């Protein structure tokens, strides 16, 4: 049955206006910066649809002739920031982590160009797929439907702005007190090490003891969850099931694999000898063992997680082979229909002309090939890289759009698709004899373009579906999305560079270190260096692949999320899990109260708005403090307290559980 839009196709309302476009682009820059911070810290990004919808409604309702279609267009432009940030932070920091670039500002134009090309290609690719995906009745598009309902509720005066901005203020205040660049009055996580007692294990041969018993010790490193409203909000948004899967990876890594590695290594091993490093001479023995545990995780467990991520990405593509092939076939069949659309057609079915889409794709591929040639010095390698980028970009854009239609943008494994493109590009270029820093840069560039394209394709198809529900004009949405991509590409590298520089100024190691782990980018750097340099720890990769196969055989719904949990530090995954538990409490409470579906959706939307506000508030204050640090402006600091972090947990629990449950019931009329 054909969807009946909220605003009929025959109704003409203000839509593509300068004010709506500018509002959306400003939001794109702000929400993109917030998601860049979140991705570098936690390896997750969250859909910007909900806060963008609320802000767009709040501002545009101040105009007498403002319309719901203007709000839809502004939200569409704003969502670009989050999507482009995801593509950027999953890949661009890898250039610095791998040592190809020394600094982001020195390579501002390369970074900007990669984001611009990838982002615009993603928009152009998905124009071919719009009809196929948006009109597929088997795809639920959960976040698109929720965003459309927020817009509809706004027509009755319920914008939800107080929830969004109230939680932003609270999380921003907490960040001011716990950030090392702020007052530093709150320690956001406490860690320690529990040393195992000496154990002896006898080995048997033929049923009899063989040789001397082995003596083993080691221990277990532990961390409390980060007192981070943003991380807990991530868990709340993705829900208890996905948060638990992510947490299970952390349990597997930190409570099983790392202790086992230390236990079996034994005194005198290369790993345990790290505790005797002269630079740690004045460090307590327990703290030295924490260093050993950290190295066991980084050098052994993380490569295993890489293997699990790689196989999980391949498995995702394999599971989608049927719907993907059928969808691609329908997409090509619909090209003729789209090409024949004109101004007399239904305005809700008009896209940018196929002719201009093809011209745009070719126009972007040519300069990108020149960049690949700059990296590799090989014309043949540049052509192969361009071909791989184009094919992988289009296929993965289709995959990304399909996944968003099934599970929403916040849960879509975009980084897994980028990993697949990186491995493909690496193998192709190594086969052609490309080596060295140029080869690593070219492989990363292909992955970065594909990742940005895939991320944008998922974002715009989600917005186009919301627009279809509301009655928006696809062509207007596609044009404003391209404009927003172009402008946002020029500013998004700035917050990434500021966070990197500030962390170094505060004694850290920048992106890729403890404070800004950038798990996906670190993974990209490791794989590209390993493939091009030939020094990949393949046995550990194979163990990770075997682990992923085992998880799949056990029926694990998302091996990728488990692998990401292994790759993150325990404080992060446990904080995300706390948020998932809070969402579980809310869901259980609503189920026990036997709330109707409409009321449950209403309260869930309030919770998502509150969580989105806390993510934005914490991230924006963190970026602001990073700018102050880089300007050598220092805020007076106080002695940090770990116990004070309990206040944050209590406040977040009240906001995410208490406020949605106490909100007045929605009107049924």
Three-state DSSP at 410 gives coil
Q: Is residue 533 assigned to a domain?
A: no
Q: How confident is the model at residue 513 (pLDDT cuts 50, 70, 90)?
A: confident
Of the listed ranges 141-155, 452-466, 579-593, the least confidently predicted one is 141-155
Averaged over 437-460, what is the pLDDT? 85
Domain presence at residue 5: no
Share the mean pLDDT of the chain. Answer: 84
What the block records as the tokens of 364 is 């972007």
CB 483 within 8 A of CB 51: no
Which pLDDT score, from 0 to 100, does residue 1 have?
A: 47
pLDDT the model gives residue 333: 65
Q: What angle do CA 575, 623, 79 make, to 5 degrees?
A: 80
Residue 202: inside a domain: no
98-102, 434-438, 543-547, 568-572: least confidently modelled range: 434-438
Handedness of CA 322, 326, 329, 334 (dihedral sign): negative
Predicted local distance difference test score (pLDDT) of residue 316: 72
Q: Is the pLDDT at 237 greater than 70, yes or no?
A: yes
Residue 31: HSE in the Cβ half-sphere, 13 Å Cα cutoff: 31
- Per-residue pLDDT at 669: 46
314 part of a folded domain? no
Whether the CB-CB separation of 288 and 280 falls below 8 Å is answered with: yes
Tens of pLDDT along 276-335? 777 766 676 777 888 889 889 988 998 898 788 778 877 876 776 776 676 666 656 655
- Give pLDDT, residue 323: 63
Question: What tens digit of pLDDT does each residue of 388-428 get?
Answer: 888 888 877 777 777 677 656 655 656 666 777 777 778 88
pLDDT over 70 percentage in the chain: 91
Question: How many domains are there within the chain?
Answer: 1
Q: Do 306 and 541 contact (CB within 8 A), yes or no? A: yes
What is the reported pTM?
A: 0.80
**Residue 273 — very low, low, confident or very high, per pLDDT cuts 50/70/90?**
confident
pLDDT of residue 331: 59
Residue 482 lies in a domain: yes
Of the two residues 150 and 628, the one the predictor is more confident about is 628
Per DSSP, what are the bridge partners of residue 220?
Answer: 194
pLDDT tens for each residue of 6-34: 888 888 888 899 999 999 999 999 988 88
pLDDT reading at 157 higher than 90: no
Q: What is the pLDDT of residue 102?
A: 86
**In whole angstroms, how far apart are CA 82 and each of 243, 388, 603?**
21, 25, 24
Q: What does the alpha-carbon distance between residue 176 and residue 181 come to, in Å, rounded to a whole number?
A: 8
220 falls within a domain: no
pLDDT digits (tens, 9 = 90+) for 349-403: 888 888 888 899 888 888 888 888 888 888 888 888 888 888 888 877 777 777 6
Residue 287 is assigned to a structural domain of this protein: no
Question: Are the C-beta atoms of residues 382 and 376 closer than 8 Å to each other?
Answer: yes
Beta carbons within 8 Å of 378's beta carbon, 6+ residues apart: 432, 433, 434
Mean pLDDT confidence for 488-493: 93
Q: Which residue has the tokens 């791998």?
A: 98
Is the model's pLDDT at 126 over the cut of 50? yes
Q: What is the pLDDT of residue 213?
A: 72
> Which H/E stretch holds residue 111?
helix 108-134
Q: What is the mean pLDDT of residues 155-182?
A: 86
Residue 344 pLDDT > 50: no
Q: Give a yes or no: residue 396 inside a domain.
A: yes
pLDDT band at 343 (very low <50, low <70, confident <90, very high): very low
Tell me the per-residue pLDDT of 50-63, one tens digit each, with 9 for 90 and over. 788 888 988 998 88
Residue 337 has pLDDT above 70, yes or no: no
Q: What integer pLDDT is reported at residue 342 of this predicted model?
A: 47
What pLDDT does 482 receive?
94
Domain that holds residue 611: 18-186+321-415+437-525+602-662
Q: Could you tell me the pLDDT band of residue 480, with boundaries at 50, 70 and 90? A: very high
């Amino acid at each position: 049955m054909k969807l009946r839009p909220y605003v009929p196709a025959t109704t003409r309302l203000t839509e593509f206006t300068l004010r709506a476009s500018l509002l959306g682009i400003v939001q794109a820059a702000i929400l993109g910066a917030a998601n860049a911070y979140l991705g570098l810290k936690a390896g997750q990004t969250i859909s910007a649809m909900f806060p963008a919808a609320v802000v767009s409604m709040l501002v545009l309702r101040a105009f007498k002739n403002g319309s719901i279609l203007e709000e839809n267009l502004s939200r569409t432009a704003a969502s670009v920031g989050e999507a482009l940030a995801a593509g950027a932070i999953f890949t661009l920091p890898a250039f610095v982590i791998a040592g190809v670039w020394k600094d982001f500002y020195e390579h501002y134009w390369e970074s900007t160009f990669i984001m611009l090309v990838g982002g615009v290609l993603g928009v152009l690719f998905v124009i071919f797929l719009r009809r196929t995906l948006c009109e597929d009745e088997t795809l639920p598009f959960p976040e698109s439907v929720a965003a459309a309902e927020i817009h509809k509720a706004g027509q009755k005066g319920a914008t939800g702005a107080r929830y969004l901005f109230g939680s932003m203020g609270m999380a921003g205040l907490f960040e001011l007190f716990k950030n090392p660049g702020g007052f530093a009055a709150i320690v956001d996580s406490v860690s320690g090490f529990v040393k195992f007692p000496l154990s002896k294990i006898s080995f048997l041969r033929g049923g009899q003891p063989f040789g001397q018993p082995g003596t083993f010790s080691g221990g277990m490193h532990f961390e409390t969850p980060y007192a981070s409203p943003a991380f807990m909000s991530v868990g709340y948004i993705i829900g208890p099931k996905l948060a638990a899967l992510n947490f299970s990876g952390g349990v597997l890594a930190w409570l099983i694999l790392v202790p086992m590695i230390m236990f079996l290594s034994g005194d005198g091993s290369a790993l345990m000898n790290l505790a005797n490093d002269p630079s740690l001479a004045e460090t307590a023995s327990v703290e030295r063992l924490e260093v050993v545990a950290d190295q066991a995780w980084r050098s052994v467990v993380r490569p295993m997680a890489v293997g699990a991520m790689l196989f999980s990405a391949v498995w995702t593509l394999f599971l989608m082979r049927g719907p993907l092939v059928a969808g691609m076939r329908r997409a090509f069949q619909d090209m003729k229909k789209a090409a024949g659309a004109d101004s007399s057609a239904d305005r809700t079915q008009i896209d940018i002309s196929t002719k201009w889409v093809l011209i745009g794709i070719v126009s972007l591929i040519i300069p990108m090939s020149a960049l690949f040639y700059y990296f590799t010095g090989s014309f043949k390698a540049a052509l192969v890289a361009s071909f791989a980028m184009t094919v992988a970009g289009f296929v993965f854009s289709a995959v990304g759009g399909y996944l968003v239609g099934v599970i929403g943008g916040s849960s879509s494994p975009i980084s897994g698709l980028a990993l697949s493109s990186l491995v493909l590009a690496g193998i192709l270029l190594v086969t052609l004899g490309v080596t060295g820093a140029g080869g690593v840069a070219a492989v990363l560039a292909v992955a970065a373009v594909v990742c940005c394209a895939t991320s944008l394709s998922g974002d715009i198809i989600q917005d186009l579906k919301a627009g279809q529900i509301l009655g928006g004009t696809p062509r207007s949405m596609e044009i404003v999305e391209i404009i927003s991509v172009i402008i946002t590409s020029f500013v998004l590298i700035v917050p990434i560079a500021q966070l990197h520089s500030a962390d170094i100024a505060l004694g850290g190691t920048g992106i890729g270190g403890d404070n800004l782990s950038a798990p996906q980018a670190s993974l990209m750097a490791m794989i590209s260096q390993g493939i091009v340099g030939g020094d990949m720890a393949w046995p550990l990769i194979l163990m990770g692949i075997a682990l992923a196969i085992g998880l799949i055989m056990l029926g694990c719904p998302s091996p990728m999320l488990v692998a990401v949990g292994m790759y993150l530090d325990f404080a992060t995954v446990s904080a995300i899990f706390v948020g998932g538990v809070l969402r579980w409490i809310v869901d259980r409470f609503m189920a026990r109260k036997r709330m109707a579906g409409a009321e449950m959706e209403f309260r869930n939307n309030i919770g998502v708005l509150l969580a989105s506000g806390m993510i934005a508030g914490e991230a924006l204050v963190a970026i602001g403090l990073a700018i102050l640090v880089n300007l050598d402006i220092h805020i007076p600091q106080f002695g940090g307290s770990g116990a004070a972090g309990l206040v944050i947990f209590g406040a977040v629990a009240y906001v995410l559980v208490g406020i949605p449950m106490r909100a007045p019931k929605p009107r049924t009329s």
